[in-house]
Every structure is written in structure tokens, then in C-alpha cells.
Amino acid sequence: MSLKTTKFCAKPFIKWAGGKTQLLPKLEERLPEHIKSSKMIEKYVEPFIGGGAFFFYLKSNYDIKKSYIFDVNNELIITYTAIKKNPIQLIDMLGKIQSEYFNLSENKREKYFYDLRNKYNDCIGSYGYKRYDKSWIERASMLIFLNRTCFNGLFRQNSKGEFNVPFGDYKSPRICDEHNIMSVHECLIDTTIICGDFAKSKRYIDNSTFVYLDPPYRPIKPTSSFTSYAKEDFNDNDQIRLAKFYKAMNDKGAYLMLSNSDPKNENQDDNFFDDLYREFNIDRVLASRMINCNKFCRGKISELVIMNY
């Protein structure tokens, strides 16, 4: 599938577990017919923005009149906001970090990583997450650096909200991607960015809205749980709460698409999502599991795409 050429073609600026880049063609195929034919979305809402792969693709290829993105992870929202408000200053900071990092020996690079990670984590309890100021730009630069240079390019937090991924031994990581940051900035200029639980998006959704929901995936194995994209876990009770939200937004007349893991990869008798969304259209698509510490556990698995149209 060819992508339409536009004045910008943004992609995720951060690597995010469960990112949708590889599934973009399959997601686009499943857009409502009136959106595919008109190449226009009246209102777009994404309550779990994460890395934003689908959002950036749609903004780069469709005419979106109004867009609203949400995430409960305040560190992620800080970074989106910094790119929206001060991309040039962020690029300058990332360029400086990249230059310093590349000029170091391998051992000194590892020390640089842990020193910056400690600095990033030390102020979590006292950081001003509520009101934007220029310190958000520095914090965004640290988060992007950590994500680009840590093991497996993960974003993971412990219960205290600390970034806890170890150092990754990459020779030439792309720390400062100036062109993409400016493309992301273009996507965000007229986008409303909100920190909060998915339920906060309710007031922005009506019958002219297309909603894409990409929550933290339900682990397909009890031993493979990776839910710490934020310090708050997202458990089965939250999945049930999300299903109720989905049904309420369906009653509002919104067009809804939701992604999640397929429990049947491990247990054909596990009907958790089939039961939760039994009144809607459930498609199973193949995807590659890209982030796993064991390379032998990476491969094609089934994922769910659930639509109300």
C-alpha cells in the first residue's frame, strides 16, 4: 500500500511497546468507508496516544478537522507538549546531547546514560507536571534520549514512576531526528493534548467522531505481563471498564476502532474479549511481536481489531 505524499510525513518520535507502525495498512483498510472515500475526518479522538503511529499516519494522509489525544502517562504528555510548543529548542537540546554522547567511549556512554537517568528520576516527586514551562523541554529531551539509548528501546516505569530500563549498547542511535520532530510538530499544532484516563475523552466524543482506542494490551501469558507503560497498571477490571466506555460511546453514535491482544494465541478457550465485545465486529490480524527480551519469543501472533461499524 502506497502512502500519500504530503507536506509532512510524521512517525512516532519514541519507541513504544505495542506500537502500531507495522499494522498501519491493516488499520487503514478497516477505517469507516466514508473516511476512506473522502480522506477526511471531522473529529479524531485517541484516548491512549502512546507512540501515536496511527495518529501520525492519519494526520499526514487525511484531512482531520479537529483532533484530541490523551494519555495517563504525564511524562509522555510533557514530551508531546514540548514538541508542539517548542520544537526548535527541543531539537537544539537533543543535538547537544547527541554530540556529547557520540564523542564518548563505550564505557563513558554507559555512565552518561545512568547519570542522566538518575537526574531524570530524582525529581519525579517534586516535578511540576501541571503547568507548562521551559523545563518541560529539557525533560522531553531526556526522555527521548533514554528511550533511544536504553535496552530494546523500551519505555517502562516502576511503581514510583521512575524510568527503570537499563542501558542498551547501540553504536549510532538516532537521538536527534530533526526532520521528524518538525513533522510531529506540524501534526500537533492544531491538536489538543490532554493528560488523563481514557474516560476523560468522553466529553469530546459525539456522532461526528472517529475514536481509535489502543490500550495497554492484556498479557497473552500470565508470566509475560508488561503493563508498566505508566506507574498505574491496566488490569482486567480496567479492560472491563474500557468495554463499558466503548459501548457508551457507541450509544453516542461515534465510530470506534479498538486494538488489543488476542488471548486465543495461548488458549483457544479464552473468550475474554470475544465476550466483552460480542455485539461488535471482531477481526483477527497477524502482527509481529517486536519487543521481547528473548529473541526466540518474537514472531507472528494474532491481534484483535474491534469495530462498531
Give the span between the Cα atoms of 30 and 275, in whole angstroms.
Answer: 21
pLDDT for 192 beyond 90: yes
DSSP states along 132-195? --THHHHHHHHHHHHHHHBGGG---B-TTS-B-PPB---SS-----HHHHHHHHHHHTTEEEEE
pTM above 0.85, yes or no: yes
Taking the chain, what is the end-to-end CA distance rounded to the nearest angstrom?
23
Which of 47-56, 91-100, 154-163, 234-243 is least confident? 154-163
Pairing of strands 281-288, 300-307: antiparallel
Backbone φ/ψ region at 73: left (φ over 0), alpha (ψ -120 to 50), beta? beta
Q: Cell 518541560: give the residue.
A: 136
Closest CA to 230 of 16, 48, 47, 74: 74
Give the span between the Cα atoms of 245 and 243, in whole angstroms.
Answer: 5
pLDDT for 106 beyond 80: yes
3-state DSSP assignment of residue 95: helix
Task: Provide the b/e sequence for 263-281 (b: ≥16 CB within 10 Å).
Answer: bbbeeeeeebbeebbeebe
Give the span between the Cα atoms of 289 and 273, in whole angstroms.
Answer: 19
Grid coordinates belonging to 241: 471498564
* Band of pLDDT at residue 289, cut at 50, 70 and 90: low
Percent of the chain, pLDDT > 70?
90
Yes or no: say if 116 and 96 are a contact pair by the CB < 8 Å rule. Answer: no
Grid coordinates belonging to 255: 465510530
* Band of pLDDT at residue 291, cut at 50, 70 and 90: very low
Work out the average pLDDT over 252-276: 96
CATH of the structural domain 77-179, one choice from 1.20.1630.10, 3.30.70.2200, 1.10.1020.10, 3.40.630.40? 1.10.1020.10
Number of Cβ atoms within 10 Å of the Cβ of 21:
15
pLDDT at 228: 54
CATH code at 21-72+196-307: 3.40.50.150
pLDDT at 182: 98
* Band of pLDDT at residue 17, cut at 50, 70 and 90: confident
Work out the average pLDDT over 26-43: 98
pLDDT at 157: 87
Maximum alpha-carbon separation in the chain: 59
* Band of pLDDT at residue 297, cut at 50, 70 and 90: very low
* Band of pLDDT at residue 124, cut at 50, 70 and 90: confident
pLDDT for 247 beyond 70: yes
Give the span between the Cα atoms of 48 and 54, in whole angstroms.
Answer: 11
Instruction: Specify burial of residue 159 (Cβ count, 10 A radius: 0-12, 13-18, 19+).
Output: exposed
Give the span between the Cα atoms of 44 and 66, in whole angstroms.
Answer: 6
Q: Cell 491496566: give the residue.
A: 234
Q: For residue 29, how many C-alpha atoms fall within 13 Å in the half-sphere facing its CB?
A: 9
Grid coordinates belonging to 202: 468522553
Neighbouring-strand partners of residue 187 = none
pLDDT at 130: 87
Grid coordinates belonging to 3: 502512502
pLDDT for 83 beyond 80: yes
pLDDT for 189 beyond 90: yes
Which of 35-49, 151-165, 195-209, 278-292 is least confident? 278-292
Beta-carbon contacts of 123 under 8 Å, excluding residues fewer than 6 positions away, are none
pLDDT for 296 beyond 50: no
Q: Residue count of the chain, please give it.
A: 309
Yes or no: say if 201 and 68 are a contact pair by the CB < 8 Å rule. Answer: yes
| Dihedral (CA of 248, 253, 254, 259) sign | positive
Work out the average pLDDT over 104-115: 96
Domain residue spans in the chain? 21-72+196-307, 77-179
